[in-house]
A and B are shown apart, each in its own frame.
Chain A
Amino acid sequence: MKEINDLALQTVQEKAKLLRQDIIRMLGQSGSGHTGGSLSAADIVACLYFWEMNVDAANPGWEDRDRFVLSKGHGAPVLYAALAEKGFFPREQLATLRKLGSPLQGHPDMRKLSGVEASTGSLGQGISWAVGMAMAARLDNRNHRIYTLLGDGELEEGLVWEAVMAAGYHHLDQLLAIVDYNGLQIDGRLSDVMSPEPIADKFRAFNWNVLEIDGHDCRQIMEAFNAARQIKGAPTAIVAHTVKGKGCSFMENRVEWHGTAPNQEQMEKARVELGK
């Protein structure tokens, strides 16, 4: 059990703020990309990379590292911001997001960018990779953990539930899946499009351990990570209640910010709200 002291909490909160600032800057510079879902995941990703996971930028292929698979690959900006801050590549490269020849592709590409564990973007596939990675860890008698982040809309893909079924059946307790439960997909609210709800009950039915938390409360996120480590014999799902666009009031809970990048004026407005 890792202790959650004030310093740890303050650190992840500051990192989450930095990730949000980077996300806005990167997307503003690229002129296209997915703003809402990057911002909703910022606290979760900050807690993963700056508290929970064991990774080493100097040794990205280290066999005992923890793995993170961004199953909702369109959230690439939040992952890139975290990897840059971790030192996997120079921060200046963030400015090349989505540009021709950049290793920072529109969706994460493991063959182009250090620190990216899986090439995702086609929804539903990342969690299958994560299940395979957890199986490999067990086969090799290694203790590292596998983390994957899914969108709530992504849960509509049948492949997700094939993976969830397999992980439950195989008792993969090294696997942790986090759902970014922001209630929105592209065409509207989950409840108006094709809802996968109730979400927690579905994971339970597939023999997972389930925790429900506020996905913007870093203490709750860290406590859930701690709790998940104690569970043996079953994978854990964290259903994290979030707000799409979190941190920029004019983007929060607005479906039109799913796949829109901020213009100059909106970048300024966001900068005022996010600081820096």
Chain B
Amino acid sequence: MEKQATRDAYGKALAELGELHQDVVVLDADLSKSTKTADFAKAFPERFINAGIAEQNMIGMAAGLAASGKVVFASSFAMFAAGRAFEIVRNSLAYTRLNVKICATHAGITVGEDGGSHQSVEDIALMRSLPNMTVEVPADGSSARLALHALYDRPGPAYLRLGRPSVPTIYPADMDYEIGRAIELRSGKDATLIGCGIMVARCLEAAEQLSRQGIELSVVDMHTIKPLDEEMIIRKARETGAILTAEEHSIIGGLGSAVCETVCAHYPVPVFRMGLNDVFGQSGSPEELMQYYGLTTDKIMENIQLLLKTK
């Protein structure tokens, strides 16, 4: 199976965008080798600005550049881009609808050994709570690349959440990708798995294994958390009567919460939320941590059995 980190796909796609569009300007905060904006910096040094270790100023400068007609892509680790700079994102980007794309890498616990201080498990919640903000969480390299191109074509502030480790490539390079339209990867009647990011591949695997035991699941890649594809959620709630959500993020405020809000308002069915259960991360290897916090294919299968009993 082919693998690629979404941050690697982002770095390559950013250099493509730079080639295609003269108005693209890229900012980073002393992490360009890790966020992969270094590819762009090398190709277009005059349109790359290193803000230094100053994430708040990076977002403030991005607002000024965007107000002057630039299309700005600003990168750091999710902890610092969404966390450290939050109020500046809120007032300088979202409140103003400026055309800045925050492209945050090293999101979630798969940051690994750096530990809990660097593992952002609340960034989706923060960004989703902001009016005007688009929130994208691609599941693989192919969709990360297309998400970036789609974000260029969609004026306004956006948050692109990217990961550190390599993840299985699920999609062909020429897939159909539309912001705000979820992708139904598999159709089954017993329950629906809705995942984002690294969890989509695990949902698919769990569905395949359970299918051998006669349990037929639907699998949805909810790559856009905002604007949320409510139509898809309501239809799957109606068709399957139970939903399990899976995200590398707190169960508070992220994908699971968004799905619950939708089904509660429109078509109540039982929802099982998988994610970090209101705890911070810690040091460990990425895969050890995914095991420790129960974000595995096996755990999805286990939890589906519990969920089916409540139907």
Q: Is the CB of A106 within 8 A of B52?
A: no
Q: Is the CB of A121 within 8 A of B53?
A: no
Q: Is the CB of A122 within 8 A of B79?
A: yes
- Tell me the nearest residue of chain B to A108, going by C-beta: B117
A98-131 interface (Cβ within 8 A of B):
98-102, 104-107, 109, 119-124
Known A158-B54, A193-B52; judge A106-B31 contact (CB<8 A). no
CB-CB under 8 A from A185, the residues of chain B are 30, 52-53
Q: Is the CB of A157 within 8 A of B288?
A: no
With beta carbons under 8 angstroms apart, the residue of B31, B32, B57, B117 that contacts A122 is B117
With beta carbons under 8 angstroms apart, the residue of B30, B57, B112, B118 that contacts A187 is B30
Interface 0/1 of A31-57, CB less than 8 Å to B: 111000000000000000000000000
Alpha-carbon distance between A228 and B179 when the two chains are bound, in angstroms: 58
Is B180's beta carbon under 8 Å from chain A? no
- Tell me the nearest residue of chain B to A261, going by C-beta: B113
Alpha-carbon distance between A31 and B288 when the two chains are bound, in angstroms: 15
B37 CB to nearest chain A CB (Å): 10
Q: Is the CB of A193 within 8 A of B30?
A: yes
CB-CB under 8 A from A107, the residues of chain B are 114-115, 117-118
Is B51's beta carbon under 8 Å from chain A? yes
Is A227's beta carbon under 8 Å from chain B? no
B107 CB to nearest chain A CB (Å): 15
Of the listed stretches B183-191, B218-226, B279-287, chain A binds: B279-287
B258 CB to nearest chain A CB (Å): 27
CB-CB under 8 A from B84, the residues of chain A are 122
Q: Is the CB of B117 within 8 A of A121?
A: yes
With beta carbons under 8 angstroms apart, the residue of B57, B80, B283 that contacts A106 is B283
CB-CB under 8 A from A214, the residues of chain B are none
Q: Is the CB of B115 within 8 A of A121?
A: yes
Interface size of A as a range = 20 to 34
Q: Is the CB of A100 within 8 A of B52?
A: no
CB-CB under 8 A from B112, the residues of chain A are 32
Is B116's beta carbon under 8 Å from chain A? yes
Is B289's beta carbon under 8 Å from chain A? yes
Q: Is the CB of A98 within 8 A of B113?
A: yes
Is A28's beta carbon under 8 Å from chain B? no
Tally of A-B Cβ pairs under 8 angstroms: 91
Q: Is the CB of A157 within 8 A of B282?
A: no
Interface 0/1 of A12-45, CB less than 8 Å to B: 0000000000000000001111000000000000
B25-78 interface (Cβ within 8 A of A):
28, 30-34, 50-54, 56-57
A69 CB to nearest chain B CB (Å): 14
CB-CB under 8 A from A158, the residues of chain B are 54, 56-57
Q: Is the CB of B118 within 8 A of A157?
A: no
CB-CB under 8 A from A119, the residues of chain B are 117
Q: Is the CB of B115 within 8 A of A100?
A: no
Q: Is the CB of B30 within 8 A of A186?
A: yes
CB-CB under 8 A from A187, the residues of chain B are 28, 30-33, 50
A197 CB to nearest chain B CB (Å): 12
Q: Is the CB of A194 within 8 A of B115?
A: no
Q: Is the CB of A106 within 8 A of B114?
A: yes
Known A154-B53, A156-B52; judge A98-B283 contact (CB<8 A). yes
- Tell me the nearest residue of chain B to A121, going by C-beta: B117
- Tell me the nearest residue of chain A to B80, going by C-beta: A122
Q: With A30-B113, A106-B113 given, can you name 5 additional A-B contacts, CB distance below 8 Å?
A: A32-B113, A99-B283, A101-B282, A106-B114, A194-B52
Among all A-B residue pairs, the 7 with the closest Cβ atoms: A194-B52, A100-B284, A121-B117, A106-B115, A156-B52, A105-B115, A98-B113
Jot down 14 A-B pairs with beta carbons below 8 A, ordered by A. A98-B115, A99-B283, A106-B283, A107-B114, A107-B115, A124-B53, A153-B52, A156-B53, A185-B53, A187-B30, A187-B32, A187-B50, A193-B50, A194-B54
